[in-house]
């Protein structure tokens, strides 16, 4: 049984994993880079070890250093979180070779699903429908052009080692191919250390729906129903919800069955996610399998009442699944908003910096998974996602109303965040009606960017607040006790005159 | 001493008429507000005006006279103009210095690529420099056809928010 667990990650997910560990009586070990000495996961863990410089290639991606820390600290297991080494089969193999439990599937399953081309072939053999596309990796720019001409535009260029929207580009015209290819490659290289890419036919106006899978080492495989992830910006998920407004009971059963079949095709064990593209006629295609814990796992936890990290640890311990498929029921509705440190008004430019003030929302049906605290500096080296807000409601509308309330309540100052953008999403009629696909943000962009009504009066109040702050700063730099800075000079003159008289 | 406040397109005169503890009387143009304002001292203000409660957050912007004000999901860039800043603006104008000719890096990050050198002629929309922050690469482009006057950064250099990158003619 696992007694001490090393989390080979940072940020909110490291904290999230440690929470379950603490509830299970498992000791936690954090690793950190130069930029993360003050990070929450370091403070939260029982033990913490330095592993290198700030760029992830010199710290969180260093397999050797992480293994070294696991041995030094006596950790019997490593949880990789998401991103970094989570879908690195070689790392899973290395852990196995070193006698450390890797919290995740077998190296074989990671390699097969991680290589998107092999994954597609495996799915075809298992009878799961896939998106048409290139059969092998794109080796050169010339080869890319050939393949793209063959499939026909528009296409998606994707990192073969990819996931989480990184290293992915959509191409509508031939003139964009070269720059898209280079961009995807460079991003893939820095995010995954592998710049191989492939090309896939672009499915127009798809829904992005995924199924959460749990499988133990005895061949028991279940799904925890779907997550609707169609609200995306530049292929990055922004809002997720479950159940999907598009889903029917029949479709859920059919897709769930295929998702389980997909996992079984690679003898999967652990937690994983099967991503599908679904068109308006409810045809669906296997997109990829994420062989790790997913960012948006909390909404599933909320509606089915399963702690997915706890299940991952149990499975790694060689225990059978706690739940059977017929015990899995969705209750109510859950929505997650991802909060990014970026400036929606300035083309979503990343906005790292020091958190000046943070007030997290509370109340019934609210969960925040984050890692910020006042005074913490969000580093420039890592993902801009700084927090997740998860709400639950008896109905979808209740969940939306609650999300509006908590977005208003959430206050983060010091860095720019996407909070106001998320708030606008919750107001958008297409979202409220549940009538949206992956083009949602593009389609509703003007509405999403429109300012909330503000009359002259609230402008005045903003001016007043800035003015009062300006005056109080001015006051601090001058040795005066009075608020009205204008008259103090005269007092000073008076004092000097009085002193001169003596 | 008179102050002006610039918020978006609007410029208003602002004046502190009276202050007694938390209670302030402030005039914005011709309108006089009676306010009760308290702060945590960290830029966080609770202001009550006419029974309405405002929870406001003031963060310093690029200078001690520039502020970013957050209130009810609305964000405002506010600039306080005092005698000194009016003087400086007049001076800069006289010297022919135009802020619009300089490209600043809006966030801390790392220079991935510098695609131009001083003296180059560039077209509108041409990428001049690429900055990486938080795993995202942002391209900075020329807003108009112009000549590069100065390149103030080099590749692999770490930049801070607000740092000058490129000056055009």
**Catalytic site positions of A:** 292
Q: Which residues of A touch B61 (CB under 8 A)?
A: none
Protein fold of A4-103: Rossmann fold (3.40.50)
**Residues of A (324-343) whose Cβ lies below 8 Å from B:** 341-343
Summary mean pLDDT of chain A: 91
Has residue A79 got a pLDDT over 90?
yes
A380: contact with B, CB 8 A cutoff: yes
Alpha-carbon distance of A32 to A328, in angstroms, equals: 37
Which single residue is written with the structure tokens 């608020």?
Answer: A483
Of A186, A413, A419, the CB nearest to B59: A413
Contact across the interface for B16 and A467, Cβ inside 8 Å:
yes
Contact across the interface for B31 and A460, Cβ inside 8 Å:
yes
Q: Which superfamily does A338-438 belong to?
A: ATP-grasp fold, B domain (3.30.470.20)
Closest-CA residue in chain B for A415? Answer: B59
- What CATH class is the domain A204-331? alpha beta
Contact across the interface for A411 and B65, Cβ inside 8 Å:
no
Contact across the interface for A466 and B69, Cβ inside 8 Å:
yes
Has residue A488 got a pLDDT over 60?
no
Residues A103-124: what's their mean pLDDT?
A: 92
Quick one: pLDDT at residue A1? 94
A190: contact with B, CB 8 A cutoff: yes
Beta partners for B121?
B147
Q: Which residues of B touch A466 (CB under 8 A)?
A: 5, 58, 67, 69, 76, 78, 80
Hey, what are A359's tokens? 């007030």
Summary mean pLDDT of chain B: 87
| Element counts in chain A: helices (H) and strands (E) | 18, 22
Closest-CA residue in chain B for A473? Answer: B64
Has residue A12 got a pLDDT over 70?
yes
Determine phi and psi for A452, rounding to 5 degrees.
-70, 150
Q: Which residues of A touch B64 (CB under 8 A)?
A: 470, 473
Q: Which range has the worst mean pLDDT, A15-24, A64-73, A75-84, A445-454?
A: A445-454
Determine phi and psi for A112, rounding to 5 degrees.
-65, -50
Q: Where are the domains of chain B?
A: 2-81, 89-168
Alpha-carbon distance of A296 to A170, in angstroms, equals: 23
Q: Which residues of B touch A478 (CB under 8 A)?
A: none
**E strands, A117-164, where?**
155-163
**pLDDT tier at B96 (50, 70, 90 boundaries)?**
low
Quick one: pLDDT at residue B124? 87
Protein fold of B2-81: Glycoprotein, Type 4 Pilin (3.30.700)
Q: Which residues of A touch B14 (CB under 8 A)?
A: 463-464, 467
Q: Which of A368, A451, A376, A453 is nearest to A413 (CA)?
A: A376
Burial class for A119, CB neighbours closer than 10 Å (0-12, 13-18, 19+): buried
Hey, what are A496's tokens? 């000097």
Has residue A489 got a pLDDT over 70?
no
CATH code linked to domain B89-168 = 2.40.50.100
Q: How is the beta sheet containing B163-168 ordered, strand by strand?
A: B102-105, B163-168, B146-151, B121-122
Determine phi and psi for B69, rounding to 5 degrees.
-110, 125
**pLDDT tier at A205 (50, 70, 90 boundaries)?**
confident
Burial class for A222, CB neighbours closer than 10 Å (0-12, 13-18, 19+): buried
B58: contact with A, CB 8 A cutoff: yes
**pLDDT tier at A72 (50, 70, 90 boundaries)?**
very high
Protein fold of A132-201: Dna Ligase; domain 1 (3.30.1490)
Has residue A251 got a pLDDT over 70?
yes
pTM of the model: 0.85
Contact across the interface for B80 and A470, Cβ inside 8 Å:
yes
Q: Is B89-168 in the same CATH topology as B2-81?
A: no
**Residues of B (69-128) whose Cβ lies below 8 Å from A:** 69-76, 78, 80, 106-110
Closest-CA residue in chain A for B69? Answer: A462
Residues A154-160: what's their mean pLDDT?
A: 88
Select from A373, A427, A465, A473 the residue whose CB has the most chain B CBs within 10 Å, as the one to mutate to test that interface.
A465
A476: contact with B, CB 8 A cutoff: no
Has residue A479 got a pLDDT over 60?
no
Residues B75-83: what's their mean pLDDT?
A: 89
Q: Which residues of A touch B137 (CB under 8 A)?
A: 183, 186-187
Beta partners for B146?
B122
Contact across the interface for A341 and B134, Cβ inside 8 Å:
yes
Contact across the interface for A468 and B45, Cβ inside 8 Å:
yes
pLDDT by residue (tens digit) across A371-408?
A: 999 999 999 999 999 999 999 999 999 999 999 999 99
Quick one: pLDDT at residue B99? 62
Quick one: pLDDT at residue A480? 45
Q: Which of A293, A220, A284 is nearest to A250 (CA)?
A: A284
Of B5, B33, B42, the CB nearest to A466: B5
Q: Which residues of A touch B80 (CB under 8 A)?
A: 466-467, 470
Q: Which range has the worst mean pLDDT, A254-268, B16-30, B70-84?
A: B70-84
A487: contact with B, CB 8 A cutoff: no
Alpha-carbon distance of A453 to B73, in angstroms, equals: 10
What ipTM is given for this predicted complex? 0.79
CB B43 within 8 A of CB B59: yes
**pLDDT tier at B14 (50, 70, 90 boundaries)?**
very high
pLDDT by residue (tens digit) across A255-287?
A: 999 999 999 999 999 999 999 999 888 999 999
Rg (CA), chain A: 25
């Amino acid at each position: 049984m696992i007694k001490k667990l090393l989390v080979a990650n940072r940020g909110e997910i490291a904290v999230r994993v440690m929470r379950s560990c603490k509830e299970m009586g498992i000791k936690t070990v954090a690793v950190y880079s130069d930029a993360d000495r003050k990070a929450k996961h370091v403070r939260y863990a029982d033990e913490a070890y330095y592993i290198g410089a700030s760029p992830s290639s010199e710290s969180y991606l260093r397999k050797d250093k992480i293994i070294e820390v696991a041995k030094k600290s006596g950790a019997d297991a490593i949880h990789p979180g998401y991103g970094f080494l989570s879908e690195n089969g070689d790392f899973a193999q290395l852990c196995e070779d070193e006698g450390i439990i890797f919290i995740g599937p077998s190296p074989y399953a990671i390699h097969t699903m991680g290589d998107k081309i092999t994954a597609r072939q495996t799915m075809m053999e298992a009878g799961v429908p896939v998106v048409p596309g290139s059969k092998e990796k794109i080796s050169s720019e010339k080869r890319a052009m050939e393949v793209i001409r063959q499939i026909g535009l528009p296409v998606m260029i994707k990192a073969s080692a990819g996931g989480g929207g990184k290293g992915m580009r959509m191409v509508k015209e031939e003139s964009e191919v070269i720059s898209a290819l280079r961009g995807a490659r460079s991003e893939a290289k820095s995010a995954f250390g592998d710049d191989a890419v492939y090309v896939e036919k672009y499915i127009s106006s798809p829904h992005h729906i995924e199924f959460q899978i749990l499988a133990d080492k005895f061949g028991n495989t279940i799904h925890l129903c779907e997550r609707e992830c169609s609200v995306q910006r530049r292929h990055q998920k922004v809002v997720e919800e479950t159940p999907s407004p598009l889903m029917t009971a029949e479709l859920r059963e059919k897709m769930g069955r295929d998702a389980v079949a997909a996992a079984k095709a690679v003898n999967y064990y652990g937690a994983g996610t099967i991503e599908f593209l679904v068109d308006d006629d409810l045809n669906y295609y296997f997109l990829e399998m994420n062989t790790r814990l997913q960012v948006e796992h909390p909404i599933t936890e909320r509606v089915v009442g399963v702690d997915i990290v706890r299940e991952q640890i149990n499975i790694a311990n060689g225990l059978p699944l706690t739940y059977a498929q017929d015990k899995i029921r969705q209750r109510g509705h859950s929505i997650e908003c991802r909060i990014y440190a970026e400036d929606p008004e300035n083309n979503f430019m990343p906005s790292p910096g020091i958190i000046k003030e943070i007030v997290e929302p509370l109340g019934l049906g609210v969960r925040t998974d984050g890692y910020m605290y006042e005074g913490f500096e969000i580093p420039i080296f890592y993902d801009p996602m700084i927090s997740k807000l998860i709400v639950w409601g008896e109905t979808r509308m209740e969940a939306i109303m609650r999300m509006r309330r908590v977005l208003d309540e959430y206050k983060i100052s010091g860095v720019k965040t996407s909070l106001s953008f998320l708030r606008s999403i919750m107001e958008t009629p297409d979202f409220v009606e549940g009538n949206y696909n992956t083009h949602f943000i593009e389609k509703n962009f003007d509405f999403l960017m429109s300012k909330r009504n503000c009359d002259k009066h609230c402008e005045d109040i903003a001016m007043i607040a800035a003015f009062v702050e300006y005056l109080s700063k001015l006051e601090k730099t001058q040795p005066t006790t009075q608020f009205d800075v204008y008259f103090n000079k005269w007092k000073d003159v008076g004092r000097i005159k009085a002193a001169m008289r003596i | 001493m008179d102050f002006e406040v610039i918020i978006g397109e609007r410029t208003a005169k602002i004046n502190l008429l009276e202050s007694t503890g938390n209670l302030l009387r402030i005039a914005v143009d011709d309108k006089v507000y009676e306010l009760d304002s308290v702060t945590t001292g960290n830029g966080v203000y609770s202001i009550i005006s006419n029974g309405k409660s405002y929870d406001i957050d003031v963060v310093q912007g690029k200078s001690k006279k520039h502020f970013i004000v957050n209130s009810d999901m609305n964000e405002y860039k506010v600039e306080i103009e005092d005698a000194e800043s009016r003087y400086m603006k007049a001076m800069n104008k006289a010297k022919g210095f135009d802020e619009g000719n300089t490209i600043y890096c809006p966030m801390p990050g790392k220079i991935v690529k510098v695609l131009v050198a001083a003296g180059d002629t560039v077209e509108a929309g041409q990428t001049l420099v690429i900055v990486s922050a938080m795993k995202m690469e942002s391209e900075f482009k020329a807003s108009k056809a112009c000549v590069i006057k100065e390149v103030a950064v080099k590749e692999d250099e770490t930049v801070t928010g607000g740092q000058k990158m490129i000056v055009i003619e």
